[in-house]
Amino acid sequence: MIMSEPQPILDPLTPAAIFLVATIDAGGEAVVRDTLADVQGLRRSVGFRLPGAGLTCVTSIGSAAWDRLFAGPRPAELHEFPGFVGEHHQAPATPGDLLFHIRAQNQDACFELAMTIGDRLAGAATIVDETVGFRYFEQRDLLGFVDGTENPEGKGAYAAALVGDEDPDFRGGSYVIVQKYLHPMAEWRALSVEQQEKIIGRTKLDDFELSDADQPADSHVAVNTIVDADGAEREILRANMPFGSVKDGEFGTYYVAYAATPSVPELMLTRMFVGTEEAAYDRLLDFSVAVTGTSFFAPPLDFFDELPPPPDAGTAEHVQPNDIGSGSLGIGTLKRSMHA
């Protein structure tokens, strides 16, 4: 099997992150294509001047944007975020064509790259959400619980997060879901630590999972632990970051999950919002309000080296000047199908 190199999806959590979500303006497709082809170069220019910053960027593309940008094969399971409606809580679907998940040890590195990408997209795409994420104490969320402990590691992380042989054109890619959640902090703080632990399903100070006897069926951990009939756990790779604004009274968790198939995080969201056989919904939702929700696909790195031709590149007259400028010969599809 030829493994396409993934984007830096499996990298460990960093102290700083910026999430940029953008929509493509009418007629902005050619500039966006050029920018997508250049993101790793821009990242090198910024990151090389900041040794030790570990600057990375994972670039992802939404379902409708895919058809506006590229001819040729699509990732097999790419679709819009469906939204989830439960009796008590809802997860809205919100616009987004592009996601730039920028991570580094320091915020200056993230900001410089975000600004550079924003400059390149000016006039071609509109940034509809910018969230500055930060590490909060020992990888805790703003609710005070350590977040990320049970993420899969090693081979398990590859299997959970990356597309494999089931979609050879997009091997090494990953499906991405992002959601912004806001926490009503006063209500959360009014609970005892013991009540909070029953809602999350782990202890607060030292982050141990509650015993089966103490684990409520509607805790966040119980609702999100999904075991197949053959005993295998269905997993995703989460890279959540806290964010907030004291002025706006916003205290939140930016949820970002990478998965080999969107069906796994979508099943988790169904269980959280619509319920399971044992739980009406995930109790964490009483203290976490979803305000955005968007789905994307993060292609493997070599996809950006040779972008597929644009959808209207059938004849020579339709080749965009920008495509010539970017050095693309429009043979991306051919090259990619040879990889397969």
If the CB atoms of residues 292 and 320 are measured against ligand HEM, the closer one turns out to be 292
Contact status: 199 vs ligand HEM (CB under 6 A): no
Q: How far is the CB of 289 from ligand HEM (least distance, A)?
A: 9
Report how many helices (DSSP H) and strands (DSSP E) the chain contains, helices first: 11, 12
CA distance 132 to 254: 9
Q: Report DSSP letters for 304-318, one per residue.
A: HHSPPPPTTTTSGGG
User: Does residue 196 belong to the site contacting ligand HEM (CB under 6 A)?
Assistant: no
| Site for ligand HEM contains 224 (CB under 6 A) | yes
Q: Is residue 251 near ligand HEM by the rule CB under 6 A?
A: no
Q: Nearest to ligand HEM by Cβ — which residue? A: 150
When binding is defined by CB under 6 A, the residue of 288, 292, 295, 333 that contacts ligand HEM is: 288
77 makes contact with ligand HEM (CB under 6 A): no
Distance in angstroms (rounded) separating the CA atoms of residues 242 and 180: 10
Quick check: is 165 catalytic? no
Question: Contacts for 329-333 with beta carbons within 8 Å, 24 or more apart?
Answer: 331/306, 332/72, 332/303, 332/306, 332/307, 332/308, 333/71, 333/72, 333/73, 333/308, 333/309
| Shortest separation between residue 156's beta carbon and ligand HEM, angstroms | 11
* Residues 88-147 close enough to bind ligand HEM by CB under 6 A: 141, 143, 145-147
Cα–Cα distance measured from residue 310 to residue 308, given in angstroms and rounded to the nearest whole number: 7
What minimum distance in Å lies between the beta carbon of 227 and ligand HEM?
10
Selected catalytic residue, list 147, 167, 169, 323: 147
Q: Is 197 in the site for ligand HEM (CB under 6 A)?
A: no
Is 306 an interacting residue with respect to ligand HEM (CB under 6 A)?
no
From the list 71, 82, 57, the residue with the least C-alpha distance to 7 is: 57
What is the identity of the amino acid at 59?
Answer: T
Q: Does 255 bind ligand HEM (CB under 6 A)?
A: yes
Residues 6+ apart with CB under 8 A from 154: none
Measure the CA–CA gap between 20 and 35, rounded to whole angstroms. 14
Of 78, 268, 298, 313, which one interacts with ligand HEM (CB under 6 A)? 268
Q: Which residues are catalytic?
A: 147
**Which residues contribute to the site for ligand HEM (CB under 6 A)?**
141, 143, 145-150, 179, 181, 200, 202, 220-221, 224-225, 236, 238, 253, 255, 257, 265, 268-269, 284, 288
